[in-house]
A and B are shown apart, each in its own frame.
Chain A
Amino acid sequence: MMQVQKPRLILENGLRTDGRRPDEMRPIKIELGVLKNADGSAIFEMGNTKVLAAVYGPKEMHPRHLALPDRASLRVRYHMTPFSTDERKNPAPSRREIELSKVIREALESTVLTELFPRTVIDVFMEVLQADAGTRLVSLMAASMALADAGIPLRDLIAGVAVGKADGIIVLDLNEPEDMWGEADMPVAMLPSLGQVALLQLNGNMTPEEFRKGLELAQKGINIIYNLQKDALRKKYAEYKEE
């Protein structure tokens, strides 16, 4: 599937290769409590990107000397399954996966109330089942939903979406060709109700004006995702209120 020439990313009618408008996101699907053995779990889908996350803990840290005296430590693993890409991916953790695990861990540390559980550890596992751009953010959101499903106190849910530049136009929620051929890719994750940024990376070039516009667009998308996340958590208890 190697294309030597860059394809057109924005078509004549102003739509993108998959028929979306520049400020339109891919469809989102959230499922909670999908694994029986985990304390909390979630599947998060965004278009063709699909990530399964599982949370264990908080539990006592073994070996003891690794425990932090004032807060819980997070152990985070981001992993891509061998069948997640169009060519088999070696299941051994790559340099990229190790780095993304760290990036995601740091984003999660900003939301988990780790100081409530000193000397413990919380394990978070994420498996990318299907990769189609934006896996780090979908993984991060899946992890935050799994943490909420486990009943672990969080400052806020994490919602995130990427913005980028394709053929000179700022687009929301990049897909694979835009990720590969676009001029910029900026994943943004936030704690929406606190208005804090949990993760921000930028690949490529943007002018300050484009950056501001992109961040604003991302915030719009994040608010939509945040409401979907809250609905998913509430849905389970829709009938609870009535008694």
Chain B
Amino acid sequence: MVENSGSKIFYQDRSIVTPGDLIAEGEFQVPWSPYFYKIGNKYYSAITGLLSVKEGNIFEVIPLEGQRYYPRIGDTVIGLIEDIEIYGWVVDIKSFYSAYLPASSLLGRAIAPGEDLRRFLNIGDYILAKVEAYDRTINPVLTVKGKGLGRISSGVIVEISPAKVPRVIGKNKSMLEVLTSETGCDIQVAQNGRILVKCANSLSEETAISAINIIQSESHIKGLTERIRAYLREKLGGSKNDASAEAKTNT
């Protein structure tokens, strides 16, 4: 319980809140979130989530459930091209709305009349994009302007629940660090619950994917980062030596 000049937070850091729980009373400078709401000067939780309290007077509710992604401007997402329109693409981003990617964002110019957008992105293609605009009145608009954004040409996409994304990244990216350093893969976690895994060989790829699935199903059990590290070492320990032995014979 934190008290601060008449303002009060009723829960400790990292406690679990359920819908309707009174989180705090008073005036707080907290960013708007769909996961809590305010009546008068009382803040209530709207979901089952983990409450994180920072510096005594800032709090955040991190969802523990949820199959769909709530778009936020600036988030990196992996989208699946669903449909092609005259001036852009309709993209599935695992949200409750389809996103829209205007062709000008990808091409960097206006579209010539009669130009076939299928040449650039076809249905079934994955893209790495950023959410450029979204509010209650419009569906999310994506952009691929930026480093590393655009069509995904290689790798595997792993789907997890968007609520589990923070767990795959971990505190200060600790979990992601373990995944990338142990497998040697290039792993991109998008905020909407899609993960791009690029690996040198199929064994490390399979291991990385099964590790992600373990994280997803056991996300609430403590000591997961260390167990994942042990799991990856056990699975890949032998193969790394094999690979180096193979390299020696080749030379």
Asked if A154 contacts B19 (CB within 8 A), the reply is yes
A-side residues, CB < 8 A to B, are 39-40, 57-60, 70, 111, 113, 115-120, 148-157, 191-194, 229-230, 233-234, 236-237, 239-243
Could you say which residues of chain B place their CB within 8 Å of the CB of A149?
48, 65
A115 to B32, CA, bound (A): 14
Asked if A240 contacts B21 (CB within 8 A), the reply is no
Asked if B37 contacts A155 (CB within 8 A), the reply is yes
Asked if B163 contacts A151 (CB within 8 A), the reply is yes
Asked if B18 contacts A153 (CB within 8 A), the reply is no
> Per a CB cutoff under 8 Å, which of B19, B35, B64, B96 touches A58?
B96
By CB atoms of chain B within 10 A, which of A70, A115, A229, A234 has the most?
Answer: A234
Could you say which residues of chain A place their CB within 8 Å of the CB of B157?
none
A149 to B163, CA, bound (A): 12
A51 to B97, CA, bound (A): 31
Asked if B46 contacts A153 (CB within 8 A), the reply is yes
**If A113-B37, A148-B65, A233-B48 touch, does A155 touch B19 (CB 8 Å cutoff)?**
yes
Asked if A243 contacts B223 (CB within 8 A), the reply is yes
CB distance from B162 to the nearest CB of A (A): 9
The residue on A at minimum CB distance from B221 is A239
What are 17 A-B contacts defined by CB distance under 8 Å? A60-B97, A113-B34, A120-B96, A149-B65, A151-B47, A151-B63, A152-B66, A153-B46, A154-B20, A155-B46, A156-B19, A157-B20, A193-B21, A193-B22, A194-B44, A237-B50, A240-B220
Asked if B96 contacts A153 (CB within 8 A), the reply is no
**Is there a chain A Cβ closer than 8 Å to B147's Cβ?**
no
Could you say which residues of chain B place their CB within 8 Å of the CB of A234?
16, 18, 48
Asked if B19 contacts A243 (CB within 8 A), the reply is no
Asked if B65 contacts A151 (CB within 8 A), the reply is yes
Interface string of B1-44 (1 = CB under 8 A from A): 00000000000001110111110000000000011010100001
**Is there a chain A Cβ closer than 8 Å to B68's Cβ?**
yes
Asked if B222 contacts A243 (CB within 8 A), the reply is yes
Could you say which residues of chain B place their CB within 8 Å of the CB of A151?
47-48, 63-68, 163
Asked if A148 contacts B16 (CB within 8 A), the reply is no
CB distance from B18 to the nearest CB of A (A): 5
| List of 10 A-B pairs having minimum Cβ-Cβ separation, nearest first | A151-B66, A156-B20, A151-B65, A153-B46, A243-B222, A154-B19, A193-B20, A58-B96, A240-B220, A242-B222
CB distance from A145 to the nearest CB of B (A): 10
The residue on B at minimum CB distance from A234 is B16
Could you say which residues of chain A place their CB within 8 Å of the CB of B220?
236-237, 239-240
Asked if B14 contacts A241 (CB within 8 A), the reply is yes
Asked if A240 contacts B50 (CB within 8 A), the reply is yes
Asked if B65 contacts A150 (CB within 8 A), the reply is yes
CB distance from A194 to the nearest CB of B (A): 7
A240 to B50, CA, bound (A): 9
A210 to B146, CA, bound (A): 69
A152 to B172, CA, bound (A): 28
A194 to B137, CA, bound (A): 29
A157 to B118, CA, bound (A): 47
Could you say which residues of chain A place their CB within 8 Å of the CB of B21?
193, 230
A150 to B162, CA, bound (A): 12
> Per a CB cutoff under 8 Å, which of B18, B50, B67, B221 touches A148?
B18
Asked if A148 contacts B14 (CB within 8 A), the reply is no
Could you say which residues of chain B place their CB within 8 Å of the CB of A119?
97
**If A39-B67, A193-B22 touch, does A156 touch B48 (CB 8 Å cutoff)?**
no
Could you say which residues of chain A place their CB within 8 Å of the CB of B14?
241
> Per a CB cutoff under 8 Å, which of A116, A239, A243 touches B34?
A116
Could you say which residues of chain B place their CB within 8 Å of the CB of A39?
67-68
CB distance from A55 to the nearest CB of B (A): 10
A119 to B22, CA, bound (A): 29
CB distance from A218 to the nearest CB of B (A): 18
CB distance from B133 to the nearest CB of A (A): 15
**Is there a chain A Cβ closer than 8 Å to B53's Cβ?**
no
* Given pairs A116-B34, A151-B64, 14 additional interface contacts (CB within 8 A): A70-B136, A111-B19, A151-B63, A151-B67, A151-B68, A153-B47, A234-B18, A234-B48, A236-B64, A236-B220, A237-B220, A240-B50, A240-B64, A241-B15
